[in-house]
Amino acid sequence: MCAEMSKAVKKYFAPGRVNLIGEHIDYNGGLVLPAALNIGISATYIPQSDNKIVLRSATHSLVKEINLSDTFSFNPQNDWTNYPIGIIEHLKRENHYIPSCEVIFESNLPEGSGLSSSAAIEVLTAFMLLSQTESNINRTWLAEFCQQVENEFIDVKCGIMDQYAVANGKKDNALLLDCAYLKHDFVPIELGDCRLLLMNTNKPRSLIRSRYNERKAECEEALRIIRNVKPQLKNLCEAEMHWIETITDEVIRKRARHVISENIRVKESVKVLRHNDLHTFGRLLNASHQSLKEDYEVSGTELDILVETAQEIKGCLGARMTGAGFGGCAIALVHHSVIEKLKNNVSETYFNSTGITCSFHTVEIGDGVRLLSE
């Protein structure tokens, strides 16, 4: 159905997301438990009529004007604008109408920190442009479309989790997302006297794209080997743990062990969260971190210091890295009475061993992408 084109300036918002548990298993057909945040990126949409789009961001100096008749491919010189340009190019390929406009992005979401600012800007751009002519945008389609842009245009072989959480988030709920069947259940997050604390390493990530793609290839190799004995196996997350004994390469075997064990931890987490058993959930967070550090090898000195220092503090129920890893953020589940103590201890230990100042943010769970005001 076509909504009438309006000439009014509008404002849209897409949240970042935090993944509570279920790391690096979305691209292995697993279950994941992300939540949309109350921080994110907003876009002011100013209609124009010159067959052009002007892209501006308050957090980047590059301003880009593109002609909608042109064809686009990834270009490093286009820096951050590759994300919205990728969305525009792929929308054009699918014959969607793209309105002329000027867009100004503003953000209170750290970039490159594992909170999915890339998914936020993708989903925001697609939702905003399509909203000018379409009502009732299908949010599962929107997530898949934006994932495809990140996979093909940006060349990061991420799974569906980030875009799905940004598109479908719901205040005070996590999403139990089944990545094999693309369906979700909401899991209410009631923390009582506890808080979820984000701990940002403030370490610029490097090599993220190549490492991500490397892990994905390793998982594909693990699946290929297990399928030699279990040809019906749909994805790595459905494998039974003892099947990995057929994998002779130790590295590939460790990758598979993380994937299978993490999927089990997500199921247990949902069970205990539904019974408000935060202590067991905390222990599952700790186990997830250990697995990401030892078996999947995507943590790193900085994340380990944050997580392991937090875990030692009485009143911290659990902590783990979140997001792709190699820097970025960790989360801790903390009794509110020890938050200040935890912040002081962790930041001092972290600064003394890395020379970097970390930062903290108490997580609040918000809604998915939306129109803010007209």
Supply the minimum distance, in Å, between the C-beta of residue 245 and ligand ADP: 35
| Residue from 30, 34, 99, 114 binding ligand ADP (CB under 6 A) | 114
Amino acid code (one letter) for 292? L
Considering CB distances under 5 to 8 angstroms, the limit depending on partner class, which of Mg ion, ligand ADP, none binds residue 105? ligand ADP
> Which residues are 295's β-sheet partners?
none
Catalytic residue among 162, 172, 277, 367: 162
- Which residues have a Cβ under 8 Å from the Cβ of 54 and sit 6 or more positions away? 48, 63, 64, 65, 101, 102, 103
C-beta closer to ligand ADP: residue 155 or 277: 155
Q: Segment contacting ligand ADP (CB under 6 A): 106-114, 130-138, 220-228, 333-341?
A: 106-114
C-beta closer to ligand ADP: residue 26 or 238: 26
118 touches Mg ion by CB under 5 A: yes
Query: Could you give the string, one character per residue 18-57, with x where binding to ligand ADP holds by CB under 6 A and - elsewhere?
Result: -----------------------x---------------x
Hey, what long-range contacts does 241-248 have (CB within 8 A, 24 or more apart)?
247/222
- Which residues have a Cβ under 8 Å from the Cβ of 70 and sit 6 or more positions away? none
29/234 Cα distance (integer angstroms)? 8
Supply the minimum distance, in Å, between the C-beta of residue 151 and ligand ADP: 12
144 touches ligand ADP by CB under 6 A: no
Tokens representing 359 are 């930062």
Kindly report the backbone phi and psi dihedral angles of residue 135, in degrees, each rounded to the nearest multiple of 5, phi listed first. Answer: -110, 165
| Residue from 33, 37, 115, 143 binding ligand ADP (CB under 6 A) | 115
- Which residues have a Cβ under 8 Å from the Cβ of 166 and sit 6 or more positions away? 14, 15, 16, 17, 36, 40, 116, 119, 120, 123, 143, 368, 369
| Residue from 59, 213, 261, 280 binding ligand ADP (CB under 6 A) | 59
**Footprint on residues 275-304 left by Mg ion (CB under 5 A):** none
26 labelled catalytic? no
Tokens representing 367 are 């809604």
Residue (of 205, 213, 29, 40) closest to 115 by Cα position: 40
82 touches Mg ion by CB under 5 A: no
Considering CB distances under 5 to 8 angstroms, the limit depending on partner class, which of Mg ion, ligand ADP, none binds residue 305? none
Supply the minimum distance, in Å, between the C-beta of residue 316 and Mg ion: 27
Residue (of 88, 66, 70) closest to 78 by Cα position: 66
C-beta closer to Mg ion: residue 90 or 343: 90
Interface contacts to Mg ion, rule CB under 5 A: 118
Interface contacts to ligand ADP, rule CB under 6 A: 41, 57, 59-60, 80, 83, 105, 107, 111-118, 121, 323
